[in-house]
Amino acid sequence: MDDHNIESHPDLMDPDWQRHAEKEAWTGLRRDRRRARRRRSAAIWGAVVIVVAAAGFYLWKQGTRAEEVAGSSPAVRTPTTTAPAPTDLPDYGHVDLRRPFDNTPAQNWPEGIAGLTVPAPAKVGSFSEKQVGDAQAQVKHAVEVAQFDKEVLEGYHPDGYIGLFAPDVRQDLQANPQAYLIYLEDGNHLLPVQPRMSGKMTVAPGKAGELYLHVSYVVAYAFDPGSRVIEGPGDLEPFVRVDTDFIVRSGSSWAPGSRGLWTAKFHRYFSRMSCDAVKKHLLAPEFADPYFTGPSLSPEPGQFDPNKPVPTKGNCEE
C-alpha cells in the first residue's frame, strides 16, 4: 500500500467519518450561502439607497417648483390602486416590520378570519337555511380559534377549541390537539400585526342528518426578528396551508353525544418555517434554524393559493 496516497487512508475510508464529513460540509455550505446572500443583499440595498435618495431630492425640488407656480394651495393626491401581489415568497429584500406582508403573496389578504370567504346560508339537504348558517358560524369560529387565538398560539390551551365539538369526539381531540391547532415555539413572538388569511368555505350534504363543510385556506404569520439580521420576508414569515372537512350532525338518528361538530379529513402544509420546530409540532420562523436554506424544490403554487392543490413534499424534506 502507498503510505502517501491520502485518498485511501483507513481513517478516510471509515463510513461513519464520511457521513460526519458530509454533514459538516453541508452545514458549511449553508453558512457560506447565507453569508454570500447577505453580502449580495447589502450591495444591492446600498445601490438602492443611493438611487432613492437622488430620486427623492429630484422630486422634492420638482414639488417646490410646482408650489411656487401654483401658490400655497396643497396638491391633490392621486389615488393609488392596490398593486398585484407576488405569487412566491422572495428569498431576500427589504422588510418593513410595520408592514411585513408587503411584497409577499399575503400583501393584499385580509387580516385574521376576515380572509375566510363564507357563502350566504341556503337550505342544503335536510338542513334549513338557519341550520346551515349556524353550522357555517361554528366552523368559522373553530378555524379562528385554531389559527389566531392567543390562548392557543402562545398559551397552548386547547380547551376553547375542543369545547366547540360534539362530546363524543372531544377525547380524541384532547389526545392530539396539535394536529389541528397552531402552537408557537417558546422564544418566538409575532410582530404586533394581525396574521393574514386567504381562503374559502363550501357546503355540501352528507349522509342523513349530516352537513359537510370544506375549508381551504392559507395563513401568513410575521415573527419579530429582534436583533437578528433578516435577508428577506421568507426569513420571518411562515405560511400555513390547510385543507380540511368538518361535519355537523343533527337529528334523532344521532345519539345526543354525537350531535354537533366533528372533524373529518385534515391536511396541513407548512412553508418557510423552522424545521426543528415543526418536528416538535410547533411553529417558528425560518430564522430560528441557523444557516437553514432549505432543499431545492420546484415552485408549488398551492403553498400560497387555496384554489390550487395542496403540495405533497414539504420544505424540510431533503
Q: What is the arithmetic mean of pLDDT over 47-58?
A: 41
Of 300, 92, 273, 109, give the one whose Cα is nearest residue 182. Answer: 273
98-to-95, 176, 223, 224 alpha-carbon distances in Å = 9, 35, 11, 11
Q: How does pLDDT run across 226-284, given as a tens digit for each residue?
A: 999 899 999 999 999 999 999 999 999 999 999 999 999 999 999 888 989 988 999 99
Does residue 244 contact residue 266 with C-beta atoms inside 8 Å? Answer: yes
| Element holding 117 (H helix, E strand) | strand 116-117
Q: What is the arithmetic mean of pLDDT over 87-114?
A: 94
For residue 34, pLDDT over 90 is answered with: no
The pLDDT, as a whole number, for residue 313 is: 66
Rounded mean pLDDT of the chain?
79
Q: How does pLDDT run across 150-185, given as a tens digit for each residue?
A: 999 999 999 999 999 999 999 999 999 999 999 999
The pLDDT, as a whole number, for residue 248 is: 98
Q: How does pLDDT run across 198-223, given as a tens digit for each residue?
A: 999 999 999 999 999 999 999 999 99
Half-sphere exposure of 248 (CA within 13 A, CB side): 24
DSSP state of 121: P
Min mean pLDDT across 61-65, 116-120, 147-151, 232-236 is at: 61-65
The pLDDT, as a whole number, for residue 292 is: 52
Q: How confident is the model at residue 309 (pLDDT cuts 50, 70, 90)?
A: confident
288-to-182, 232, 313 alpha-carbon distances in Å = 17, 14, 21
Annotated domain spans of the chain: 1-75, 112-303
Residue with cell 407548512: 270
The pLDDT, as a whole number, for residue 303 is: 87
Selected residue with higher pLDDT from 302 and 209: 209
- Residue 134 cell numbers, joined: 349556524
Q: Give strand pairing partners of 262.
A: 247
Selected residue with higher pLDDT from 27 and 267: 267
Selected residue with higher pLDDT from 29 and 83: 83
The pLDDT, as a whole number, for residue 317 is: 57
Q: How confident is the model at residue 192 (pLDDT cuts 50, 70, 90)?
A: very high
Does residue 200 contact residue 308 with C-beta atoms inside 8 Å? Answer: no
For residue 134, pLDDT over 90 is answered with: yes
For residue 72, pLDDT over 70 is answered with: no
One-letter amino acid of 74: P
The pLDDT, as a whole number, for residue 302 is: 81
CA distance 91 to 271: 12
Which distant-in-sequence residues (6+ apart) come within 8 Å of 63 by Cβ?
75
CA distance 127 to 129: 7
The pLDDT, as a whole number, for residue 87 is: 86
Min mean pLDDT across 26-35, 107-116, 128-137, 216-225 is at: 26-35
- Tell me the whole-structure pTM to 2 decimals: 0.73
Q: What is the arithmetic mean of pLDDT over 286-307?
A: 71
Q: How far out from the chain centre does Cα 62 lie?
A: 42
Does residue 89 contact residue 272 with C-beta atoms inside 8 Å? Answer: yes
